[in-house]
Chain A
């Protein structure tokens, strides 16, 4: 490799890194401009001292909180199931169908590199697979947690709730083109629906 090629390679790598950083800054700025999007007021705020999740979950959360990409971990009976999962994206983690069965009655945690409360996708996956708890660790150390305290849902019943909210969202807020604002509405509509159907059997907490 000639010196010219080495310089060119170094330049392209540096350019790619700078673009990634700029993209992240823009994304975070967009969220800030929208007034702390996804920080749902529907979550009750508790001191993190009340967070009684197994120690292993907290240890993994400390690690993933510092990552710029999203990582997820599945815990069954307090033990990590398999490895940390990432799709190499800042704003999403995808799962193969085969992993869904492992999430049933499990605690599934992940990080939100940009902060904020649970997204509609988080709440929907929690419902669809029948998780015990879904958690999102934020860079400020706080955790959003949605717990199932005894609701048993068939998968079609869960799909029905999700679909119903989606339709109501389209009817009520169909004119809103901003995807992020729409997602905030969807997350809150889903939470309100769960509270209205299941009351205290569903608990949404922000551990600060």
Chain B
């Protein structure tokens, strides 16, 4: 697999550039965005196997900046891109992606911070090697594999990934541990 640097997905905006009216941007802003665009371009053109593995890798050890990941996966980086938030893939092999967020604290108006509960990826066609790709991405992690109602479940230990569900080799859902959430702030 071609190496793609994901470090930028863990960049926390310094306090002085966070909650403000007026003022200058984080001086690292431009290089951060360029690195995110690089990830986006990679995700647009890489093989489906690498696409899945890159996304899974970004969650494997540390909760990433999911907004940066989402935008990297959906902003069009090629001429004539539509500009909507649908997944962009050269091979047009993804039906949809859903970043499903939940409130960290229910019924607390003073804290409406959300964490990514799960990321759902639906393929246009069944992917016969999907289990291999998932297991390869989990390499080095302890996991248990089981099957329930035709859904294959991987329960992962010591990772922000709680579990992964694969349905009919056409749908992959990555469930995230709320406790791993990190607030990154926006640039």
A106 within 8 A of B: no
CA distance A130 to B16 in the complex (A): 21
Within 8 A of A (CB), among B61-85: 66-68, 70-72, 74-75, 77, 85
CA distance A170 to B75 in the complex (A): 12
**Among candidates B67, B109, B111, residue contacting A160 with C-beta atoms closer than 8 Å:** B67
In the bound assembly, the distance between CA atoms of A171 and B78 in angstroms comes to: 10
Residues in B with CB closer than 8 Å to A136 are 21
Task: Confirm or deny: A164 has a beta carbon within 8 angstroms of a beta carbon on chain B.
Answer: yes
A163, B21: Cβ atoms under 8 Å?
A: no
Residue B125, interface by CB 8 Å: no
Candidates A70, A130, A155, A160; contact of B21 at CB < 8 Å: A70
B-side contacts of A167, CB under 8 Å: 33, 36-37, 40, 71-72, 75
> Number of residues in B with C-beta < 8 Å to the partner?
37
Does A96 interact with chain B (Cβ within 8 Å)?
yes
Assembly CA distance A89 to B20 (angstroms): 12
Q: Is the beta-carbon distance between A94 and B23 smaller than 8 angstroms? A: yes
CB of A101 within 8 A of CB of B22, answer: no
With A163-B68, A163-B71 given, is the CB distance from A100 to B21 under 8 Å?
Answer: no
B3 at the interface (CB under 8 A from A): no
Q: Which residue of B lies closest to A164 (CB)?
A: B71
Binds B, one of A6-14, A17-25, A55-63, A120-128: A120-128
Query: B155 contacts the other chain (Cβ, under 8 Å)?
Result: no
Q: Does A5 contact B (CB under 8 A)?
A: no
In whole Å, how far is A92's beta carbon from the nearest beta carbon of chain B? 3
Complex contact A122–B21 (CB within 8 A): yes
Binds A, one of B24-32, B42-50, B131-139: B24-32
Residues of B within 8 A of A89 (CB): 23
**CB atoms of A162 and B23 under 8 A apart:** no
Give the distance to chain A from B33, nearest Cβ to Cβ, in Å: 4
Asked if B112 and A92 sit within 8 Å, CB to CB, the answer is: no
Within 8 A of B (CB), among A95-116: 95-97, 99-101, 104, 108, 110, 112
Contact among B20, B34, B111 for A101, CB-based, below 8 A? B111
Q: How far is the CB of B10 from chain A (nearest CB, A)?
A: 15
Q: How many whole Å from B57's CB to the nearest CB in chain A?
A: 21
Complex interface: chain B residues within 8 A of A134 (CB) = 21
> Is A54 in the interface zone, CB < 8 Å from B?
no
CB distance from A155 to the nearest CB of B (A): 6
**Can you add 4 more A-B contacts, CB < 8 Å, to A154-B112, A170-B34?**
A92-B20, A95-B19, A104-B109, A168-B75
